[in-house]
Chain A
Amino acid sequence: MATSPTAKVSGNGTSGAQRWKEMSKPEVGDWRVKGGLAQMLKGGVIMDVVTPDQAKVAEDAGAVAVMALERVPSDIRRDGGVARMSDPDLISGIIDTVSIPVMAKARIGHFVEAQILEALGVDYCDESEVLTPADNEYHIDKWQYKMPYVCGARNIGEALRRIGEGAAMIRTKGEAGTGDIVHAVTHARQILADIRTIQNAPTEELMSLARDYQAPYELVVEVARTGKLPVVNFAAGGIATPADAALLMQIGVEGVFVGSGIFKSDNPAKMADAIVRATTHFNDPDMLAEISRGLGDAMPGIEANKIPEEQQLQTRGW
């Protein structure tokens, strides 16, 4: 096997570079490339960080990506006021510090914040209900970007609407900043139950299901065919311990986001490390018991079921 492909090509009079251009249409930012990055994150933990130092702690602990933001959700919840995209200086500082992918949040419908994040070289944009929505009616047209998007969802309809708009990854909304897992569990179970309903329906019922879920028909048909979302599905919103992460993994998500749960705990480096281990060995109770020992206090929580609906973050977006 001495000849390289270029040598073969050069043999018939065309330069390697020319031939490469002819036979390739490198489609930067196309669907498979966008969704593909999310595939690479599977089985991993994505951690919220507010400084480059925290980003380094997250990377050293084995995070597959970091979410760069100015305040973690529990502080946003406590402080109130309008929560916006982070300062580009902060995001660039984190991008320069770590080699893992960097995500950042734009407000729902704020496509200019998204344009700025793309210009900064952010690897994934979270169009997030944790920030104050910029548009009460419309989400961002996510097809317009090379940068892939992750969006929150509480049920299959919401997930497929976001995918219809171009989201390449879905996460549960949960109730961010509470340290209470109950809504993430509810949303993950709801999405999986909806998928089973679609999968078990005879084909003539799919259009009615699409109507009921307010979801694009073509995507409902695809779910019926494959038995899963067309993109990767993570859990987010209230994960605070290794057991929380493993619970969601056993329920059937493909990875987890941890927001306030790490840097609001007693020992962030230890908690980060433990949640990474638990997400890999989510199905092994002996390992989970070992992993859960001596971590110190998890983040202080708020019981999510006692938060009045108008103060919930998950009801933002549709």
Chain B
Amino acid sequence: MVGQVNGVADTSGQPKIGVLALQGDFAEHIHMLGEIGICAVEVRKVEQLSEIDGLIIPGGESTTIVKLLGMFGFIDELHRHVDSGMALWGTCAGMIVIARDLADPYPTPLNLIDIGVARNYFGRQVDSFEAELEIDGMDGAPMRAVFIRAPIVQDTGDDVETLAVIPATDDGRPEQAVAVKSGRVLATSFHPELTEDTRLHTLFVQLAEEARTDASRRASLHHLTEETPSTV
């Protein structure tokens, strides 16, 4: 089959992006990707991971998403695909889901990026807010960021770069990272998908494009697909 390695497209000219559609605001991410010319798919079944170059885990309820990921057999497969070089982006609940560990005991995150995260850092829903954020390496005006019962990054491993922070406040709240990147894995506390600003989605598409054209990933994916027993 020309242009296909076990379902992984490589000649379409653009990366294939999936949005995890178990729960949350996946439709908003798909809409944002559509705005920049990417036709993304809803991912509800683990087999679909073999067909995409990048996965977005959207905002939602992190306890619910973690439970559904476990229930439907995603966890090991997500590790294998991310290890092999698939791009990954978690927004808000998605950031909690992919963290190394959390300040609270529940839920158990997937450890797909080397960050510690505190949930509901700013308080309850009545404390949710919007603010302007400067993102490192991003041209133009600051980004309007929507924080809804938002988490923050408490600590980062050596390979993690911080892209945006909320500065310390006079009343003693320390500076907090709210956007981080490690290799092809991106995590943000806030919800670019609730705005009209597509710049972070464009960045993620670039990461997925790297994944698509990564020869070593394609080789390991081939191997991985061979090994994966069919669940159909």
The interface stretch among A40-48, A79-87, A310-318 is A40-48
Cα A40 to Cα B28 with chains together (Å): 10
> A126 at interface (Cβ–Cβ under 8 A)?
no
Contacts of B52 in A (CB 8 A): none
- Contact A121 B168, beta carbon cutoff 8 Å: no
> A3 at interface (Cβ–Cβ under 8 A)?
yes
Picked from B124, B163, B168, the residue with its CB within 8 Å of the CB of A17 is: B168
> A11 at interface (Cβ–Cβ under 8 A)?
no
- Contact A42 B25, beta carbon cutoff 8 Å: yes
Contacts of B165 in A (CB 8 A): 4-6, 16
B175 to chain A, nearest CB (A): 6
Known pairs A36-B191, A65-B61, A123-B125; A1 contacts B149 (CB<8 A): no
- Contact A64 B23, beta carbon cutoff 8 Å: yes
Picked from B64, B134, B164, B169, the residue with its CB within 8 Å of the CB of A44 is: B64
> B5 at interface (Cβ–Cβ under 8 A)?
no
Contacts of B124 in A (CB 8 A): 121, 123
Contacts of A34 in B (CB 8 A): 128
A272 to chain B, nearest CB (A): 11
Cα A39 to Cα B120 with chains together (Å): 17
> A144 at interface (Cβ–Cβ under 8 A)?
no
Picked from B24, B68, B148, B194, the residue with its CB within 8 Å of the CB of A62 is: B68
List B residues 67-118 near A (Cβ within 8 Å).
Answer: 67-68, 71, 92-93, 104, 106
Picked from A16, A62, A118, A146, the residue with its CB within 8 Å of the CB of B64 is: A62
Cα A63 to Cα B106 with chains together (Å): 14
> B146 at interface (Cβ–Cβ under 8 A)?
yes
B119 to chain A, nearest CB (A): 6
> A30 at interface (Cβ–Cβ under 8 A)?
yes
The interface bits of chain A over 33-57 (1 if a CB of B lies within 8 angstroms of the residue's CB, else 0) are: 1101101111110000000000000
Contacts of B175 in A (CB 8 A): 6, 16
B120 to chain A, nearest CB (A): 7
> A179 at interface (Cβ–Cβ under 8 A)?
no
Closest to B107 in A: A99
Cα A20 to Cα B178 with chains together (Å): 14
Contacts of B162 in A (CB 8 A): 4
List B residues 127-143 near A (Cβ within 8 Å).
Answer: 127-137, 142
Closest to B123 in A: A121
> B226 at interface (Cβ–Cβ under 8 A)?
no
Picked from B125, B167, B170, the residue with its CB within 8 Å of the CB of A19 is: B167
List B residues 201-218 near A (Cβ within 8 Å).
Answer: none
26 contacts between A and B (CB under 8 A): A5-B134, A5-B164, A5-B165, A6-B165, A8-B134, A17-B167, A19-B167, A23-B142, A28-B127, A36-B191, A37-B148, A40-B24, A43-B24, A44-B23, A44-B61, A60-B67, A62-B23, A63-B64, A64-B23, A65-B61, A99-B119, A99-B120, A100-B63, A276-B68, A280-B23, A280-B68
A-B pairs with the 10 shortest C-beta distances?
A16-B167, A123-B125, A5-B134, A24-B131, A26-B129, A64-B61, A39-B25, A43-B23, A62-B67, A146-B126
